[in-house]
Amino acid sequence: MHTVIHLNYRDSVEQLWVSFKVNNRKFSFGNLYRPPDKSVSSFLIDFGVILADIYTQFDEIICGGDVIIEFLDSTCNIVIKFNNCTDLFHMQQIINEPTRITATIESLIDNILISNQYTSYSHGNKEIYTSSNHQLVYCILDFQSDGGDEIIHTRNLKGVDKHFLYATPFEEIFHMQDINDKVSYFNHLLTGLFDTIAPVRGMRLKKT
């Protein structure tokens, strides 16, 4: 059984989200598309807002689609900004082979992101014999339950020394002109700071 998730309209991305529950964990699954006439900068801002909305409501996020970003070049500034956005929500892009192949070019613009790095999964892409030159991307998650204790992942922010915040160079943001660079830099600083002073740790919940 699944339920459609209703989110606020975002101009730079076409989206459809559904939710379902497996082994008492709430999953959200989203299909995304960035129209070619919408800028990557606008998409990244809207995508971050979407993830922030979804992240607070569900245990796991799975999403993918065609956002027209070339992921084969991991050093590209756009890819770095995309990864900075998804890192903030502990998500990773798992497709690593070309998904659009023509006689002259190979590119990786179809993607799948998952939110839990500890989930057991397999993934890949397959050629489909249609008029499309896009390959089918897929991810298979292991939903089997061992009946054991539930493990959740959290950060402990109690007793954090405020001097770490004072020593973080947030002032560099004021020297940046582009708002997207400001957001990306702030997310990068904050995520790195949290990973240092309050790393994500597993917590076992005993079943009664």
Q: The CATH number of the domain where 16 resides is what?
A: 3.60.10.10
In angstroms, the CA 113 to CA 64 distance is: 6
Supply the mean pLDDT for the chain. Answer: 83
Mean pLDDT of 152-156: 73
pLDDT (tens digit, 9 = 90+) per residue, 172-193?
888 888 887 788 888 878 877 8
Task: Give residue 204's pLDDT.
Answer: 66
Burial class (CB in 10 A: 0-12, 13-18, 19+), 181: middle
Asked whether residue 173 falls in the same domain as residue 194, the answer is: yes
In angstroms, the CA 63 to CA 30 distance is: 4
Q: Which residues pair with 65 in a beta bridge?
A: 32, 111
Q: Helix 179-197 to helix 40-55 angle, to the nearest 10 degrees? A: 40
Count of the separate structural domains present in the chain: 2
Number of helices and strands in the chain (H, E): 4, 12
| Rg of the chain on CA atoms, in Å | 19
Look at residues 145, 160, 194 and tell me which one is the last residue of a structural domain.
Answer: 145
**Cβ–Cβ under 8 Å, residues 122 and 139:** yes
Asked whether residue 97 falls in the same domain as residue 195, the answer is: no
Measuring CA to CA, which residue among 118, 141, 125 is closest to residue 27? 141
**Cβ–Cβ under 8 Å, residues 45 and 77:** no
Could you tell me the residue range of the domain that residue 168 belongs to?
149-208
In which band, very low, low, confident or very high, does the pLDDT at 18 lie, cut at 50, 70 and 90?
Answer: very high
Query: What secondary structure, in 3-state letters, does 158-181 show?
Result: CCCCCHHHHCCCHHHHHHCCCHHH
Mean pLDDT of 190-202: 77
The helix or strand, by DSSP H or E, that contains position 113, with its residue range, turns out to be strand 110-114
13 pLDDT exceeds 90? yes
pLDDT (tens digit, 9 = 90+) per residue, 67-96?
999 999 989 999 999 998 898 888 889 999
Asked whether residue 92 falls in the same domain as residue 127, the answer is: yes
Asked whether residue 12 falls in the same domain as residue 74, the answer is: yes
Mean pLDDT of 1-20: 87
Asked whether residue 32 falls in the same domain as residue 47, the answer is: yes
Measuring CA to CA, which residue among 66, 59, 150 is closest to residue 108? 66
Asked whether residue 65 falls in the same domain as residue 128, the answer is: yes
First to last CA, the chain: 27
45 or 150, which is more confident: 45
156 pLDDT exceeds 80? no
**Cβ–Cβ under 8 Å, residues 28 and 5:** yes
Asked whether residue 117 falls in the same domain as residue 186, the answer is: no
pLDDT (tens digit, 9 = 90+) per residue, 91-129?
889 999 999 988 899 999 999 999 765 556 788 888 877
Asked whether residue 140 falls in the same domain as residue 125, the answer is: yes
Look at residues 108, 130, 145 and tell me which one is the last residue of a structural domain.
Answer: 145
Task: Enter the pTM of the model.
Answer: 0.68
